[in-house]
Structure 1
């Protein structure tokens, strides 16, 4: 069993990005600029945005953080999106999800200029991705295919099972794993209404678990030599931790890992690659398609 080290891989890629940014600026080019809009004080979102700011520094990007309280109106947020759309210095920006219930998330996503949508959530980017056109790819799926490539994990012709069908991970992940230039695999998507998830998983060469249920994937669901990618990051109460919680993946790591050829840990697997992919998208936005 080989552990897939997302943290080390992400650091290496950020160093590569930083070198490219140096070259761009030395040639008189513009410093890439990523902006983030954060609404409220959700703990997970605060941590995520903080890590994005740190990543920007490592990559040599300019970063801007715009904060709003939970009671911000939808119109105020839409006005902020419009300002960022029209700010020529901002190459890409994200509106951190989730948003308060009184705000229509999809309306906000669709208001973002797709050419600055470095989260890859806008319908235009989703549509272009689905038919293999240049676009911004959702950061977590992009991070996963990057990890598979960096570890020289064979995907072509393999059976890949994606657990979960969210717009952020499951659906785009399945699309990428099908496409020739990324996975070229035979893909099955499983969800809450799949008749026999265990059977599907046992036949899989690659399992990508993005279902949001801690320890859902157990040893009896995984065949010998499978590749297991764990996207889960559920906060589970843990009195032994200073924070009062720990991050738990969708995979029961201790019992599944011995059966795997490759497996990602939680934390330190997919998570760092998500932020790294956002940096790659921002550099792409700065360079143009």
Structure 2
């Protein structure tokens, strides 16, 4: 997909003639249950957590779908749009067992994120314009010969802050040789202020958009030329620290995951005991009926 001066790629996983509409391709996604997402390093400890109902706060497909709406759906939506796909096909699992599959069309992704597909398309287009504006500024300042690292995050008040650092020693596409961000000593800082217009009127609060309304985003980028390098480095290190999950957070997530898995295991045991008791009761009832019926059938009802 070409968007302005950018060329974007999204892998196409599958094709099916049963999909309605002109687009027949879709993406495959696997979705691990909540405890495993919280504590993926110890996924074996959470094999007892299973999806057993359609709705509910835990153990349900509804909870998994709700979590995806708050996290993964945005990247799924953009990936589907970049690849001009029809939707995604989900597999819910706990790494040991698959509980079900669900096809989510792009229209459902849009409805969950934006309310309607018109707003979804406009949000996607404006997001690409922002990314293109950032990359154009970086290219103008640093050229295209030296590899660069770019770190970007949103700030309150419709603004962005991003840091750029040259990577002359870039090893290429290699996870094992990934650069430690803390090794960057002299990052360059930029601030971008965004102005959002809806039907040519500025929007300052929460944004809503209905079909037919126009949305335009304008961006003003400023390079930090006044702050001391040590101050910029400190701000950059703080951003990197916020990007890394701390050990305290990992411990908290593991505690939550273990609690969910233990409750699931307890519910499973109680359900098994209930079924076992019902079977035993049924067997006893059957024996009693069999004996009574046998005696009654063997006697002559006309004799006392």
TM-score, normalised on structure 1? Answer: 0.22
Point out the structure with the larger strand share.
2
Which structure would you say has the larger Rg? 2
**Higher relative contact order by CA 8 Å / sep ≥ 6: 1 or 2?**
1
